[in-house]
């Protein structure tokens, strides 16, 4: 019983950190939760990805509600993104399951480094904007949903780190609107990916309750503060930590 509550407490802390950043930046939080579960909870890489997606379902649910209450969620765009992501999330989870542990660790390491660099340069990147007509609008949403759905299932993340730049740059959606839409759109795809990982035995149920509770509460706080505080300093800290985590992963995958 003592070990059960100890695991739930660790899951609560990990979920809170991932949920807070996810709600604040419009992401799922998996980039934070997965390394912490891997190192602090000693989960297998596959388990960390699957368990992360379970928590992201609740982070995106709570976060999208808060953004919607502030009028920062586009339901039409979110539905198209979600429908597209649901088609590929299962295949991403199956592909991750097929990879050896070391290869998945290495793939996740490079992914973390790439996303960390993308986040720190987001301010410059999001100043770009391309005009798309009605046809291009739907093409962008469908292609973005298909790609991020596969990525979510494979990497155990919500996919917002790639979804948000696509929404802002390609269809000119405002930053906060893109974040709220991203959280809303990742909900169904994350659920499909989480269920697939669960069926494959890649969900650590022993920490799931604490992780979900932490992710939901952290997502609520992060989403509530998203309209009140700048995210620059948080992005700087996350970038430094992300690059360090990615390099550490690469070193461990070689051993």
Q: Which of 8-12, 134-138, 218-222, 226-230 has the lowest mean pLDDT?
A: 226-230
**In this predicted structure, what is the pLDDT of residue 129?**
55
The pTM of the full predicted model, rounded to 2 decimals, is 0.87
**For residue range 201-225, what is the model confidence (pLDDT) as tens digits?**
999 998 999 999 999 999 899 888 8
Highest mean pLDDT among 78-87, 100-109, 122-131, 223-232: 78-87
Three-state helix/strand/coil letters over the chain: CHHHHHHHHHHHHHHHHHHHHHHHHCCCCHHHHHHHHHHHCCCCHHHHHHHHHHHHHHHHHHHHHHHHHCCCCCHHHHHHHHHHHHHHHHHHHHHHHHCCHHHHHHHHHHHHHHHHHHHHCHHHHCCCCCCCCHHHHHHHHHHHHHHHHHHHHHHCCCCHHHHHHHHHHHHCCCHHHHHHHHHHHHHHHHHHHHHHHHHCCCCCHHHHHHHHHHHHHHHHHHHHHCCCCCCHHHHHHHHHHHHHHHHHHHHHHHC
Q: Which of 8-17, 24-33, 82-91, 129-138 has the lowest mean pLDDT?
A: 129-138
Mean pLDDT calculated for residue range 28-40: 87
Q: Please give the tally of structural domains in the chain.
A: 1
Tell me which residue range forms the domain holding 133: 2-254
CA-derived radius of gyration, the chain: 17
**For residue range 142-200, what is the model confidence (pLDDT) as tens digits?**
999 999 999 899 999 888 878 888 888 788 888 788 889 999 999 999 999 999 999 99
Closest C-alpha to 79, from 192, 154, 186: 186
**In this predicted structure, what is the pLDDT of residue 122?**
60
């Amino acid at each position: 019983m003592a070990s059960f509550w100890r695991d739930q407490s660790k899951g609560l802390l990990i979920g809170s950190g991932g949920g807070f950043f996810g709600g604040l930046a419009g992401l799922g939080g998996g980039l934070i939760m997965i390394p912490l579960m891997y190192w602090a909870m000693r989960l297998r890489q596959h388990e960390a990805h699957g368990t992360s997606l379970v928590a992201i379902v609740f982070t995106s649910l709570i976060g999208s509600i808060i953004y919607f209450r502030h009028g920062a969620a586009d339901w039409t765009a979110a539905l198209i993104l979600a429908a597209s992501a649901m088609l590929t999330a299962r295949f991403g989870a199956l592909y991750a399951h097929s990879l050896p542990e070391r290869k998945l660790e290495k793939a996740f390491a490079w992914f973390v480094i790439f996303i960390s660099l993308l986040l720190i340069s987001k301010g410059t990147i999001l100043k770009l904007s391309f005009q798309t007509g009605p046809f291009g609008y739907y093409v962008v949403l469908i292609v973005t949903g298909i790609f991020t759905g596969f990525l979510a299932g494979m990497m155990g993340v919500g996919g917002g780190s790639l979804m948000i730049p696509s929404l802002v740059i390609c269809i000119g959606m405002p930053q906060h609107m893109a974040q709220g839409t991203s959280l809303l759109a990742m909900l169904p795809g994350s659920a499909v990916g989480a269920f697939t990982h669960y069926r494959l035995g890649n969900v650590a149920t022993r920490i799931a309750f604490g992780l979900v509770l932490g992710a939901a509460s952290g997502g609520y706080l992060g989403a509530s503060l998203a309209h009140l505080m700048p995210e620059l300093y948080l992005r700087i800290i996350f970038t430094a930590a992300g690059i360090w985590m990615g390099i550490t992963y690469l070193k461990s995958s070689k051993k």
